[in-house]
Amino acid sequence: MPATDTSALLSIRSVTKRFGRTTVLRGLSLDVAEREFLTVLGESGSGKTTLLRLIAGFEPLDSGEIWMAGERLDTLPPYRRNVNTVFQQYALFPHLDCFENVAYGLRVRGVPKTEIEARVQDALAMVKMTSWTRSLPAKISGGQQQRVALARALVNRPRLLLLDEPLSALDANLRRQMQTELKSLQREVGISFVFVTHDQEEAMAISDRIALMRAGTLEQVASPEEIYARPKTAYAASFIGQTNLLHGQVQGGRAVVGSWEWPCSQPDGPATFSLRPENLLLASQEQPGNGVVRLHARVHDQVFQGAARIVRLQCEEVTLTARVPASEELRENEIFVFSPDDAVPVKDHHAGGQQE
């Protein structure tokens, strides 16, 4: 569920960043709410890590402003920002044991010794690392280092925690486990998380909202459910989950793709529609009828996936992907149907489709 608090904690306003002649961020604006888990999702080179580094203060911006809780943030050096970062490479201090790593932020701020002791123990307990208090980082596993890095950031009670692909170095199982833990930890401490990843499944699993980035701009910012069900662009539709992109026309309130037609409220002109594989149904599964679009398909090949089968279909000139229950026996020629509601009109920068 999206965060209910509407006041923005962090406000990024028309931020532009260049490295030499390359523009990495192009006038990007984004708000992060209190207690929100926001994921910045994008391919490598989309500028997502740069965005994080600007918030943390490791890079200066070329133009624009960043505000946090009503105060200008981008003019402060990193050590004066009430923001902490969990780095991709963990960045634990190799010469300090786990306790001292976690205590670091408190020590440099001159927190009294007795308080440091208590807070560090609490933080280590929160990430279940109390047994490794006196271990050096080199002596513990990657997953454990990750936990210590998390404790080291959270012990300072920042308003905002930045996480730069923190799980990318972990193996798949540990990764899923850490996703769940991160999510519940975030609920527990009640601070905003800005989480950077290139993994769309991870983004879907843990976020309140996803900010999808592409080439230095935001493609779409929405909850995982919304971005999956109502992607705004062809890129968003195909980056998040699998999809079929149908290229056609809208003419007088009807969408036309090849010989298929359905009612559509979009303005006239070329159009692209996103149709998720699970929304392409076998006609035999469906009650015959109301306004569904029927396709005659030749079944190309099938990939068995346990509960479902991923099927490639040849329908007229287009190849489509469908997802059918594994129990269905498919013949060489089948009739598939989809509901017009599931064909979501999307902006397609490449096909010259709907443009703003």
Partner 1 sequence: MYTRTYKTAVAVPPLLWVSTFLLLAYLLLFLHSFWSVQDGQIVHHWSLSNYRTLATQPLYLEVLWRSTKIAGAVTLLSLALGYPLAYYLSFYSRRKMLLYQLVIIPLWVSYLVRAYAWKTILGSDGVLNTLLQYVHLTDAPVSALLYSPFAVILTLTHIYTPFAFLPIFAALEHIPRHLVESSSDLGASPRQTFWRVVMPLSLPGVIAGATFAFVLSLGDFLAPLLVGGSSGIMISNVVVSLFGAAYDWPLGAAVSLAMLLLVLLLLWLTESLEKRWSHA
Choice between 56 and 227, CB closer to partner 1: 56
Contact 127, 140 (CB under 8 A): no
**Helix, strand, coil tally for the chain in percent (to 5):** 30, 35, 35
Q: Which stretch binds partner 1 (CB under 8 A): 92-100, 124-132, 232-240, 320-328?
A: 92-100
C-alpha–C-alpha distance, residues 13 and 209, integer Å: 18
Q: Does 60 bind partner 1 (CB under 8 A)?
A: no
* Least distance to partner 1, CB of residue 66, Å: 15
Cα–Cα–Cα angle for 52, 58, 62, nearest 5°?
80
Q: Give the residue, chosen from 39, 46, 49, 85, that forms a contact with partner 1 under the rule CB under 8 A.
A: 85
Task: Show the binding pattern over residues 113-142: x = contacts partner 1 (CB under 8 A), - = does not.
Answer: -----------------------xxx----
Q: Does 112 bind partner 1 (CB under 8 A)?
A: no
Q: Give the residue, chosen from 14, 43, 63, 93, that forms a contact with partner 1 under the rule CB under 8 A.
A: 93
Q: Which tokens in the block code for residue 347?
A: 């902006």
Binders in 144-203 for partner 1, by CB under 8 A: 152-153, 156
Using a 10 angstrom Cβ sphere, with 0-12 exposed, 13-18 middle and 19 or more buried, the burial of residue 274 is: buried
Tokens 């560090």 map to which residue? 120
* Least distance to partner 1, CB of residue 148, Å: 12
Among the listed residues 330, 257, 328, the one whose alpha carbon sits nearest the alpha carbon of residue 293: 257
Q: Give the residue, chosen from 49, 50, 84, 243, that forms a contact with partner 1 under the rule CB under 8 A.
A: 84
Q: Give the residue, chosen from 20, 95, 267, 317, that forms a contact with partner 1 under the rule CB under 8 A.
A: 95
Choice between 57 and 231, CB closer to partner 1: 57
Contact 278, 272 (CB under 8 A): no
Q: Does 20 bind partner 1 (CB under 8 A)?
A: no
Binders in 222-251 for partner 1, by CB under 8 A: none
Q: Give the residue, chosen from 91, 174, 283, 351, that forms a contact with partner 1 under the rule CB under 8 A.
A: 91
Collapsing DSSP states into helix, strand and coil, what is residue 71?
Answer: strand
Q: Which tokens in the block code for residue 43?
A: 């391919």
* Least distance to partner 1, CB of residue 141, Å: 16
Q: Which tokens in the block code for residue 333?
A: 């020629």
Q: Which tokens in the block code for residue 126?
A: 């929160």
Site size for partner 1, by CB under 8 A? 26
Contact 11, 31 (CB under 8 A): yes
Residue 238 has phi, psi (to 5 degrees) of -90, -20
Choice between 160 and 203, CB closer to partner 1: 160
Q: Give the residue, chosen from 109, 113, 134, 350, that forms a contact with partner 1 under the rule CB under 8 A.
A: 109
C-alpha–C-alpha distance, residues 16 and 326, integer Å: 49
Tokens 């709907």 map to which residue? 354
| N residues, the chain | 356
Q: Give the residue, chosen from 4, 58, 285, 303, that forms a contact with partner 1 under the rule CB under 8 A.
A: 58
Choice between 19 and 349, CB closer to partner 1: 19
Footprint on this chain of partner 1 (rule: CB under 8 A): 56-58, 77-80, 83-85, 87, 89, 91, 93-95, 104-105, 108-109, 136-138, 152-153, 156
